[in-house]
Amino acid sequence: MAYNNTKKVALNGILAAIAVMCLLLATIMPTSKLSFYVLSSFFVSIIIMEYGTGSGWVFYILTNLLAFIIIPNKIRIIPYSVFFGVYGIIKYYIEKIDKIVLEYILKIVYFNVCMTGGIVLFKEIVADGTGIVNIKFPLWAGLVLLEAIFVLYDYVYTLFIQYYKEKLRRFLKI
């Protein structure tokens, strides 16, 4: 039993370190920021598959705390804290419904809630309500484009989960 707990703690620690490294890279790299946020989101799904949603929540909290301690620019942690870090857990709960149309409706609603919060935060922090940022295309068009990208992200996330189950899990002997 102690061996299993040690293994669980070790896997959580290793994956948390990799996730935080991805977040750090997302904050300091001049390009590919979104790719590192996406990559950092995948690790919680491994924890959920191996140890359940309770451990997934612990992993999410742990990575947020580590990121807050390590990453100098705290604002850059927000995308992970609000969306990417918790998405694997939300995805797990939604996909338990097992009705694909309802699942996608709920996922898109979750995404839109996060985007609305992001837009409000952006206006308050970056644009400071002054309209300094001049967007050249309608907001609804940008939202539709982002929703399409989100559906692609969700599909890639599902592919990652399948790949882990079929290939990596056996290879890693977890």
Task: Check residue 126 and give its pLDDT.
Answer: 61
Copy the structure tokens of residue 54. Answer: 């309770």
pTM for the full predicted model: 0.85
Copy the structure tokens of residue 121. Answer: 């935060």
One-letter amino acid of 3: Y
Nearest-angstrom CA–CA distance, 30 and 44: 26
pLDDT beneath 70: ranges in the chain? 1-3, 122-135, 137, 139, 173-174
Task: Check residue 149 and give its pLDDT.
Answer: 94
Task: Mark residue 73 as left, alpha or beta (left: phi above 0; alpha: psi -120 to 50; beta: remaining).
Answer: beta
Nearest-angstrom CA–CA distance, 43 and 16: 8
One-letter amino acid of 105: I
Task: Check residue 116 and give its pLDDT.
Answer: 84
Instruction: Identify the CATH number of the domain defined by range 2-172.
Output: 1.10.1760
Task: Check residue 1 and give its pLDDT.
Answer: 53
**Which residue ranges make up each domain of the chain?**
2-172
